[in-house]
Amino acid sequence: MDARLQVYDDKMKKAFEFLEADYATIRAGRANPHVLDRIRVDYYGTPTPIQQVGNVTVPEARIIQIAPWDKSLLREIEKAIQSSDIGINPSNDGSVIRLVFPELTEERRKDLVKDVKKKAEDGKVAIRNIRRDGNDAFKKLAKGEVSEDEIKQLEEQLQKLTDKYIKDIDALMETKSKEIMTV
């Protein structure tokens, strides 16, 4: 691949990976440890991810269990989860914290699918903005030593990249929507 194109491929890939990570934090009725990815616990004055202060497991389909390595962190973890936006109340039995995910209502599932579609649209906009930046950069090359045919070729390759990533985003959106709507 042309080095001038590689820059835009990398940017598009990062935009796609950001969307993937964002989708991982959306809960779909089943316990997914990734919903905890954004939550930080105050560990001796340092905001630390929950996965780094304890063992996070999924013993059942709708339960996440957090066993901190340092039992004095139980309260801190509980507080961090309560103040987060995951909407689940943790239960603390003195040695582990359990998060029980309730079944999603039909209405809540539809809201989540709308959110998934909106995030996908935002991802596509990001990809198109990267394409626009690339095309602008290629047009500036036309004033230099690069032929118009070469510029056209670069723009066509960039469009193919854009189409590929938009297709990938659509596929990811469909998969996540099906996952959410599956009872």
58/64 Cα distance (integer angstroms): 5
- From the list 77, 172, 68, 81, the residue with the least C-alpha distance to 120 is 172
Average pLDDT value over all residues in the chain: 88
Q: What is the pTM of this model?
A: 0.74
Does residue 13 have a pLDDT over 80?
yes
Taking the C-alpha atoms of residue 91 and residue 98, their distance in angstroms, rounded to an integer, is 5
Q: Provide mean pLDDT across the span 51-57.
A: 89
Looking at CATH, the fold of the domain delimited by 3-25+105-181 is given as: Topoisomerase I; Chain A, domain 4 (1.10.132)
In CATH terms, the fold of domain 33-100 is Gyrase A; domain 2 (3.30.1360)
pLDDT in tens, 131-181: 999 999 888 887 777 788 888 999 999 999 999 999 999 999 999 998 888
* pLDDT greater than 80 at residue 29: no
pLDDT tens for 86-98 read 778 888 888 899 9
- pLDDT of 84 > 70? The answer is yes
In the chain, the amino acid numbered 43 is Y
pLDDT number for residue 150: 87
pLDDT at 81: 86
Under DSSP, is residue 92 helix (H, G, I), strand (E, B) or coil? Answer: strand
CATH 3.30.1360.40 domain extents, the chain: 33-100
- Helix (H) or strand (E) holding 28, with range, is none
Residues of CATH 1.10.132.20 domain(s) within the chain?
A: 3-25+105-181
Q: What percentage of residues in the chain have a pLDDT greater than 90?
A: 37
CB-based contacts of 154, cutoff 8 Å, min separation 6: 2, 4, 5, 134, 138, 141
Q: What is the pLDDT of residue 86?
A: 76
Give the pLDDT of residue 100: 87
Residue identified by tokens 């689940």 is 88
**Cβ contacts of 147 within 8 Å, gap of 6 or more:** none
